[in-house]
Amino acid sequence: MHSSVKCDLAGTDPKSGGGGRWLSWRRLRALCWKETLQIFRDPSSVLIAFFMPLLMLFIFGYGINLDFSRLRIGLRMEDAGTEAAAFAAALTGSPWLEVHAYDSRAAMERALVDSQIRGFVVIAGDFSRRLQQVGATAPVQVVADGSEPNIAQFVRSTVSGVWQNWQIQRAGERGEPMTREISLEPRVWFNPSAESRNFIIPGSITVIMTVIGALLTSLVVAREWERGTMEALLASPVTRTELLLSKIVPYYGLGMISLMLCVAVAHWVLRVPFRGTLGALWVVGSFFLLSVLGIGLAISTGMRNQFNAAQAALNAAFLPAVMLSGFIYEISSMPPLLRGVTHLIPARYFVSSMQTIFQAGTIWKLLVPDILMLAGTTVVFIGLTAKLTKRRME
């Protein structure tokens, strides 16, 4: 690695560099080439730029599924009557539940503690009798595993849905049609099948871009400071603008290739609808990438130490992109202070514009405010890096 840097430096002939000029294309090209070679020579940066995006998309596509398919629940029948059997049959017939019958209540409760089932239903011994009796109410007991709040809610709402249908059907069979006075009819806009994957995948591209833009750059640039090759560069006729651009251009290219790869895989392999245009994607993607590159460069220029830079990038760029960008966790559900903090995070604007581009289309009215904020953060972070580099040089 050392030798390659030296030989590239020797390749930039100082005589043709044009002394005090602000920017020399020749020098910039040579520096960018050096940077590109460094990226491709290290297996770990190739791993991060090409393998990681595919792995993450795959995980977000198959592993992070918020739509429940079949939950295991227990059923204890203490009543042998026909009404109880009819209700049990309705439960077993639900496509959302996998019902396991238990002979003893104790065994069923143990299964709930051991997470083998996520809830259970008990039909008491007098269920059928109370149903027949006028004025009596036959209870159905449902217990859900509260240690998993989402699952518990799903168990309760699914069982009560089955129970409601069963009641309507039973009333119909007895010739006393029962209707619900008010019924809510849901319509899902933008994502009619309401698949969580369709909004999680466009959002997850944000996390991938952050890893390439902030984490990888912070490590690479910090290493140059740590090893002293940055000082060697600073002692050469290279100007500050050239230095900054030589770090931005190759990683911008790498990030854009990854972005295109992600969008292609998301659309053609994972079948997420893409309703926007590539032009809008390019504009939004460029600004976001530049602002995370700015964060990565500012961190590494400020820290100069790989271990610290990596930790800082993890805490300042990666974690906020996962937790505070709104791609899984809804921003409006956060406390006001945290909601305020999310406005400072570029990932937030990228998540919302990616979701718009993928699911709603290129609607400039929605995209322009996000783009303006992204452009603002780009200027702030790249400006900060320029300032830090200047201080380092003095």
Q: Hey, which residues between 105 and 134 contact another protein (CB under 8 A)?
A: 112-115, 118, 131, 134
Which residue has 């933008």 as its token pair? 190
Q: Which of residues 183-212 bind another protein (CB under 8 A)?
A: 183-192, 194-196, 198-199, 211
233 and 93 Cβ atoms separated by less than 8 Å: no
Please give the single-letter amino acid code of residue 237: P
Q: From the list 135, 173, 279, 394, which residue makes contact with another protein (rule: CB under 8 A)?
A: 135
According to the binding rule CB under 8 A, does residue 319 interact with another protein?
A: yes
Q: From the list 28, 32, 52, 262, which residue makes contact with another protein (rule: CB under 8 A)?
A: 52
Residue number, 33 or 68, with CB nearest to another protein:
68
Q: Helix/strand/coil (H, E, C) string of 237-279? A: CCCHHHHHHHHHHHHHHHHHHHHHHHHHHHHHHCCCCCCCCHH
How many CB atoms are located within 10 Å of the residue 342 CB? 18
Residue number, 152 or 232, with CB nearest to another protein:
152
Query: How many residues in the chain?
Result: 394
Cβ 342 to another protein shortest distance, Å = 9
Alpha carbon distance 258, 366 (integer Å): 25
Q: Two tokens at 285?
A: 């993607």
Q: From the list 16, 95, 106, 181, which residue makes contact with another protein (rule: CB under 8 A)?
A: 181
Cβ 300 to another protein shortest distance, Å = 12
Cβ 269 to another protein shortest distance, Å = 15
Binding segment (CB under 8 A) for another protein, from list 144-152, 260-268, 283-291, 375-383: 144-152
Main-chain phi, psi angles of 349, to 5 degrees? -70, -35
Strands 97-101 and 71-77: parallel
Rg (CA), the chain: 29
Residue number, 112 or 266, with CB nearest to another protein:
112
- The residues facing 99 across adjacent strands are 73
Nearest to 244 by CA among 150, 90, 385: 385
Give the x/- contact pattern for another protein in 368-387, rule: CB under 8 A: --------------------
According to the binding rule CB under 8 A, does residue 30 interact with another protein?
A: no
According to the binding rule CB under 8 A, does residue 50 interact with another protein?
A: no
Cβ 112 to another protein shortest distance, Å = 7
Alpha carbon distance 338, 317 (integer Å): 16
According to the binding rule CB under 8 A, does residue 215 interact with another protein?
A: yes
Residue number, 93 or 149, with CB nearest to another protein:
149
Q: Which of residues 53-82 bind another protein (CB under 8 A)?
A: 55-56, 59-60, 62-72
Alpha carbon distance 339, 180 (integer Å): 39
Q: Which of residues 242-301 bind another protein (CB under 8 A)?
A: none
Cβ 208 to another protein shortest distance, Å = 10
According to the binding rule CB under 8 A, does residue 340 interact with another protein?
A: no
Q: Two tokens at 293?
A: 């590159």
Residue number, 258 or 378, with CB nearest to another protein:
258
Q: Which of residues 225-244 bind another protein (CB under 8 A)?
A: none
**E strand or H helix at 321, and its extent?**
helix 319-323
According to the binding rule CB under 8 A, does residue 147 interact with another protein?
A: yes
End-to-end CA distance of the chain: 27
According to the binding rule CB under 8 A, does residue 220 interact with another protein?
A: yes
Q: With CB under 8 A as the rule, give the number of residues binding another protein.
A: 105
According to the binding rule CB under 8 A, does residue 99 interact with another protein?
A: no
What is the edge-to-edge ordering of all strands in the sheet holding 97-101?
97-101, 71-77, 119-123
Q: From the list 92, 236, 241, 311, which residue makes contact with another protein (rule: CB under 8 A)?
A: 311
Q: Two tokens at 303?
A: 């820290």
Which residue has 């939950």 as its token pair? 71
